[in-house]
Chains A and B, each alone.
Chain A
């Protein structure tokens, strides 16, 4: 029972915070609760023994998504704070459908737990020839590399869609913060090198401990966003073709690594042998750079144009 105590406190807290995020009095309040929800969720991942996911959730859910949402709230009229939202009743059909889905998932999952330990044993058995010793990285970049490849493509499509929606060819007209606060500039100057080193560390350590390309990309992308908010040029200095090249670097490296085995008599995306570890690291490095640029571009691309009526944040 004492083992379960954190979980017994955590589960109702997660539900409570999520409820307030959905039914908050105004948008800003909802966003703050959503950020808290992301934080609690990352603790849930730790409790479920998934530190890699917890790292990603903490960085993205609280950091990046929080920044995006706060930026969006700030760009709506000031009235968003005073106006609040209309109180509607609970959407009963949706609630019922969600409850049925949850019940179905629990009923499907419950018998599985007793019969198998998931795929952990198979992964552990094939870990040695995969090139890395962190099972999560092995699954992401070797056993299920197809999924990661397509996920990266989807993320790039998202960034492309955002740029198209905002009518931008690149990010050169995103304004730096109007009033570069001196305290924030000082902090960024101090902390940005730390963030870059942390990103590199997460990337290199991902082959044998929790970490990896995605976590590293989020930390470095966050650094670029911070620099943008502090008045530096950062992602907006990556212009035109350089932006396209940076975004495509990860996907291209991944595709090249996937196609090379075709010429050595193996199958597409088959990574095996002594070179597997090195190939995975190279692909991860390219992915980290690409994804960092993509995440920073997601934030910068949604900012108002220079000279338009936007809040200064």
Chain B
């Protein structure tokens, strides 16, 4: 494995850590807003690390640029979705829901 492979591996491991942290937050935080906060930020950043790792492994620059575009679109989409969900929850007036639910 070359140096680039090791760096890519580290980046993807970091992505896995972020995704795991986000999912733990999703499962354990008490209400909608804090759960949104956890999942949006960590998933965006985790995907960024994943894309960086994959871009290093990509065969050509075109593929790397496509991966970057995927990440940017995901940023836009998840930010908008988080805003819409939070807005909806706010309008429905459910501040401290308290149900962490079962799986």
Q: Which residues of A contact B (CB under 8 A)?
A: 20, 181, 183-184, 187, 190-191, 194
Residue B76 is within 8 A (CB to CB) of chain A in the complex: yes
11 A-B pairs with CB atoms under 8 Å apart are: A20-B103, A181-B84, A181-B87, A183-B83, A183-B84, A184-B80, A187-B77, A187-B80, A191-B76, A191-B77, A194-B73
Which chain B residue has the least Cβ–Cβ distance from A20?
B103
Interface residues of B in 80-103 (CB under 8 A from A): 80, 83-84, 87, 103
Q: Which 8 A-B pairs have the closest CB atoms?
A: A187-B80, A183-B83, A183-B80, A187-B76, A184-B80, A184-B84, A191-B76, A181-B84
- Is there contact, CB below 8 Å, between B76 and A190? yes
Contact A191 B103 (CB under 8 A): no
- Residues in chain A near residue B76, CB distance under 8 A: 187, 190-191
A226→B77 CA distance, assembly (Å) = 12
Q: Which chain A residues border B87 with CB–CB below 8 Å? A: 181
Interface range on chain B (Cβ under 8 Å from partner)? under 10
Complex CA distance for A37 and B73, rounded to whole angstroms: 22
Q: How far is the CB of A2 from chain B (nearest CB, A)?
A: 14
Binding site for A on B (CB under 8 A): 73, 76-77, 80, 83-84, 87, 103
Q: Considering the complex, give the chain B residue whose CB is closest to the CB of A230.
A: B80
In angstroms, Cα B77 to Cα A187, docked, is: 8
- Closest Cβ neighbor of B72 among chain A residues: A194
Closest approach, in angstroms, between the C-beta of B25 and any C-beta of chain A?
18
Least CB distance from A191 to B in Å reads 6
* Chain B neighbourhood of A184, CB < 8 A: 80, 84
A187 to B72, CA, bound (A): 12
Shortest CB-to-CB span from B12 to chain A, Å, is: 14
CB distance from A135 to the nearest CB of B (A): 22
In the bound assembly, the distance between CA atoms of A191 and B84 in angstroms comes to 16
User: Which residues of chain B are within 8 angstroms of A183 by Cβ–Cβ distance?
Assistant: 80, 83-84
A166 to B76, CA, bound (A): 35
What is the CA–CA distance of A312 and B18 in the complex, to the nearest angstrom?
35
Interface centre among B73, B76, B80 (most CB of A within 10 A): B80
CB neighbours of A181 from chain B (8 A): 84, 87
Closest chain A CB from B59 CB (angstroms): 14
B36 to A: closest C-beta gap in Å: 14
A187 CB contacts on chain B under 8 angstroms: 76-77, 80
CA of A20 to CA of B103, assembled, Å: 9
Give the complex CA separation of A183 and B76 in angstroms: 10
Closest chain-B Cβ to A198's Cβ sits at a distance in Å of: 10
Residues of B within 8 A of A20 (CB): 103
B89 to chain A, nearest CB (A): 13
